[in-house]
Structure 1
């Protein structure tokens, strides 16, 4: 019996040694590949110091006001690639990476939308970019730009919401909301330690080209390199931790924007009941549950459009959640038309928008054609 116990102990020790060596090898692999990726894909913009950390800011074009792009959950400046250069032909356009995303330094703790907004304000100030700003928020970024306006209303001349998240998401009325977010949080939480030992990279879990994409190959390669960073997984875990607070039924609705010029762009594919039903049947999901989710998402988008008495709501057909990639030309046309009246005023006076063309074309469930 003593001999058998010693033999089992040797097996356990041998297995533990193999696991430790494998983990160490994975850590070395992840560290070396991350360093190689950062050397192969240097930041296209500037690194600006903000409260002791360096944030990446990428600006193109010139003029006033400045269009400021706020990306969605886990995204970085590259998600705006199809539209930033085109928009910069007529205005200054700045995208940036939140802490831990893209090329920005990481932070260890989750931060609330109000802190995200303060960081952005400090970033722009330290970079010498003066207001006024037109803020463009995609998905989760929509919450951040609204938080920016409520803290710095005098610096904000208008807001564009791109298939924006609602403050009370994930949809209190949706039966599977809690489970969906819990599952997502668990997946990301597992991915973070796996990313530290290189398994996320080896298995291609975070690869940016896992679906057909309009992004060029070199942009996809850079995006994949950034998404394989351990810092990215940690940043996404932190953001999801804050997002899950929206499951609380006591979460307040989004605050009014008064008469601030507001453009709401909604992804048509995500609220089309027929398309939703076909896709649900094809993928084996519960058709009625997915159609209910689509109705809730449409209601939330309508609610966001009502936040301002001076708003336009455009349903962008044949587009998924990433409107700026799926329908880049329509996106550029709508945002350019929205911003045009401001750029015609010296000093960006006031917060009125005389954009009759946009108002006439952005009818209910319509498509905008400049």
Structure 2
């Protein structure tokens, strides 16, 4: 089953796509990276929908969704996702999957609404102290390109505010967490890759039930480079809900 719909959230119509059939397993809710939208999951969404119901959506101002007058910070996006799920009458808990900046959003969602979440999958997610510890170690060219990308969805300051919000609301979770990180990042030296690996490893500390998987042959878009790794991680997080 596939259903596409537009739901008014605050002052914007948000595009959402529901795929698959609801079962005793949690609905998988996928949040794409900065400037990305629902099509960012096209490599895996059909396979995941064979396991359980899947929701992909376009955040305000991206894809088919209207722009919002609210700040483009993670906290606003989390509130909007919460409203979207409620208006669609979705039943928690959800298995949240976040790629890159989407990982910031799903982490913040799990901290604010822990009862809504059955598990977390972070797909090469942005660490909370990326700017302080990682970005300064990169070349000036890399830093300039990084800073100049913030035109699609929120500006540089709003992105920084999102990382600050993640720290402010940070709490120790008990839900299963899989941290899936890229082992072959574009433009990364050996030293940069090691630091990235360290920051990803430290993310395990947010849950008492966590596991790290390195996608050795993947750059940032693991769902495209090694889709089976992402699909397998989702399967594992759904296993506790398998029918007997």
Aligned counterpart in structure 2 of residue 339 of structure 1, from 230, 238, 243 = 238
Q: Greater helix share, 1 or 2?
A: 1
SS in 1 for 2:95: strand
Q: Greater strand share, 1 or 2?
A: 2
Are the equivalent residues in 2 in contact too, given 1:82–1:324 (CA < 8 A)? yes
Distance, in Å, in 2 between the alignment partners of 1:152 and 1:178 is 38
Are the equivalent residues in 2 in contact too, given 1:261–1:310 (CA < 8 A)? yes
SS in 1 for 2:211: strand
**What are the ranges of 5 or more consecutive residues in structure 2 without an aligned counterpart?**
none
Aligned length: 238
Task: Tell me by how many angstroms 1:253 deviates.
Answer: 8.0
Render the CA deviation track for 1:5-57: whole Å, top value 9, x for unaligned: xxxxxxxxxxxxxxxxxxxxxxxxxxxxxxxxxxxxxxx72111111211011
Distance, in Å, in 1 between the alignment partners of 2:45 and 2:243 is 20
Aligned CA-pair RMSD: 2.6
TM-score scaled to structure 2, two decimals? 0.87
Aligned counterpart in structure 2 of residue 260 of structure 1, from 175, 180, 184 = 175
After superposition, residues 109-128 of structure 1 pair within 5 angstroms as: 110-128=71-89
After superposition, residues 295-314 of structure 1 pair within 5 angstroms as: 295-314=194-213
TM-score scaled to structure 1, two decimals? 0.59
Task: Tell me by how many angstroms 1:105 deviates.
Answer: 0.5
Aligned counterpart in structure 1 of residue 13 of structure 2, from 41, 54, 60 = 54
Distance, in Å, in 1 between the alignment partners of 2:163 and 2:171 is 21
Render the CA deviation track for 1:239-264: whole Å, top value 9, x for unaligned: 5432245898xx94882433221011
> Which one has a bigger Cα radius of gyration?
1
Compared with structure 1, are the counterparts of its residues 247 and 338 closer, same or farther at alpha carbon in structure 2 (3 Å cutoff)? closer
Task: Tell me by how many angstroms 1:170 deviates.
Answer: 2.4
Aligned counterpart in structure 2 of residue 91 of structure 1, from 32, 52, 61 = 52
Render the CA deviation track for 1:159-212: whole Å, top value 9, x for unaligned: 1100110111124255356954554444655xxxxxxxxxxxxxxxxxxxxxxx
Task: Tell me by how many angstroms 1:59 deviates.
Answer: 1.1
Aligned counterpart in structure 1 of residue 225 of structure 2, from 326, 330, 344 = 326
Distance, in Å, in 1 between the alignment partners of 2:56 and 2:216 is 25
Are the equivalent residues in 2 in contact too, given 1:50–1:119 (CA < 8 A)? yes
Say whether residues 1:45 and 2:4 are aligned partners. yes
Residue in structure 2 matched with residue 74 of structure 1 by the alignment: 35
SS in 1 for 2:238: helix
